[in-house]
């Protein structure tokens, strides 16, 4: 067998070449490591499960006032982009806090978030399932609670105050808005302690202060009202219609498609045979307001409406989420 003979100089060159190549590779790897360390690391992608909360959430505080949140995804994180909080100041005036930031106000992580409102004030939120947002608000030297549902999903007692019904071939839908167009304290007292209570959604600014998009009144003869009696008065169950709502329920609406024409369950013959009104669910709001008790309820109803001029029209598929308030006897 023939073997090729190498000179010593060739062997030395080969060894040097291998060392040089190894050195170049080491320098290249070191360069890559250094460059990767200098690059800005991207934010983690957030919790993918939080994307189910994207949308607009609206509901009420424990004072019955409006609270809303807009949730969206920014830089792969799910964040709060906007919120509105209405709250009572000194039990009289209503104030509002609104914050909008398309870059995000607070990050949602694992279904929870906190918003620093400054000055030691804050807002904590917690999602339960895919249709309940609840939490606490520390603002104006007072702590309040709130609950919301996502708009477009099934309503419940955490949903914002609203009314929906079919009337005269139109479907009507009204909801409490940033101006709090919910009137809940229409507390009437006549002889023998007859009290009846009204809740309504109204225009703001009103064309006329007496105009209500829809107003529901419920009343009866009673002794002095305490908190428990008031809450039980609005408990779940079916109720009868009554003239003026004095011993049952009255519904008044103003038709926005007919120059706010007034209709009532009490006008003309007031015949409500076959009509229904049922309170589906009720809860007492643990309000901070002194000497007042507020209940929030869901009611469903079908009835006959009269305009006082001999005309009658059926109202169907009515749903009302509203607040009734009572100032306790002192």
Domain residue spans of the chain: 48-150, 162-327
CATH number of the structural domain 48-150: 2.40.128
State residue 14's pLDDT score: 42
Question: Phi and psi at residue 26, in whole multiples of 5°?
Answer: -65, -40
Predicted model pTM: 0.81
What is the predicted pLDDT for the residue at 20? 47
Q: Which of 33-47, 66-80, 201-215, 276-290 has the lowest mean pLDDT?
A: 33-47
Whose CA is closest to 63, among 284, 321, 320, 329? 284
**CB-CB neighbours of 61 under 10 Å:** 23
By C-alpha distance, which of 181, 99, 167 is closest to 307? 167
Contacting residues for 229 by C-beta, under 8 A, at least 6 apart:
222
**Cβ atoms within 10 A of the Cβ of 125, count?**
25
Token readout for 63 is: 């004072």
Task: State the chain's mean pLDDT as an integer.
Answer: 84
Tens of pLDDT, residue by residue over 142-157, are 899 999 999 999 999 9
Res 15: pLDDT: 47
pLDDT given at position 24: 55
d(C-alpha 87, C-alpha 96), whole Å: 6
């Amino acid at each position: 067998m023939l073997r090729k003979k190498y000179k010593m100089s060739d062997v030395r060159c080969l060894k040097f070449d291998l060392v040089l190549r190894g050195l170049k590779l080491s320098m290249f790897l070191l360069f890559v490591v250094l460059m990767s360390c200098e690059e800005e690391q991207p934010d983690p992608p957030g919790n993918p499960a939080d994307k189910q909360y994207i949308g607009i959430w609206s509901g009420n505080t424990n004072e019955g006032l409006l609270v809303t949140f807009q949730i969206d995804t920014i830089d792969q994180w799910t964040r709060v982009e906007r919120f509105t909080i209405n709250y009572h100041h000194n039990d009289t005036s209503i104030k509002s806090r609104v914050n909008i930031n398309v870059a995000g106000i607070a990050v949602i992580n694992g279904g929870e978030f906190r918003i620093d409102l400054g000055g030691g004030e804050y807002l904590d939120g917690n999602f339960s399932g895919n249709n309940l947002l609840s939490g606490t608000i520390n603002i104006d030297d007072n702590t309040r609670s709130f609950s919301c549902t996502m708009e477009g999903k099934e309503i419940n007692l955490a949903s914002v105050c609203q009314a929906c019904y079919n009337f005269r071939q139109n479907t009507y839908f009204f909801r409490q808005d940033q101006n709090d167009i919910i009137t809940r304290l229409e507390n009437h007292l006549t002889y023998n302690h007859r009290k009846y209570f009204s809740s309504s959604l109204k225009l703001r600014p009103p064309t006329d202060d007496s105009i209500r998009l829809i107003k529901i009144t419920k009343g009866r003869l009673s002794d002095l009202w305490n908190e428990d009696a008031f809450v039980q008065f609005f408990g779940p169950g079916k109720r009868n219609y009554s003239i003026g709502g004095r011993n049952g329920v009255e519904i008044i609406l103003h038709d926005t498609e007919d120059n706010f024409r007034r209709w009532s369950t009490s006008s003309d013959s007031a015949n409500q045979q076959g009509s229904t009104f049922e309170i589906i669910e009720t809860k007492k709001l643990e309000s901070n307001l002194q000497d007042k008790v507020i209940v929030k309820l869901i009611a469903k109803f079908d009835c006959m409406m009269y305009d006082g001029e001999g005309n009658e029209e059926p109202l169907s598929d009515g749903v009302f989420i509203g607040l009734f308030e009572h100032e306790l006897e002192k």
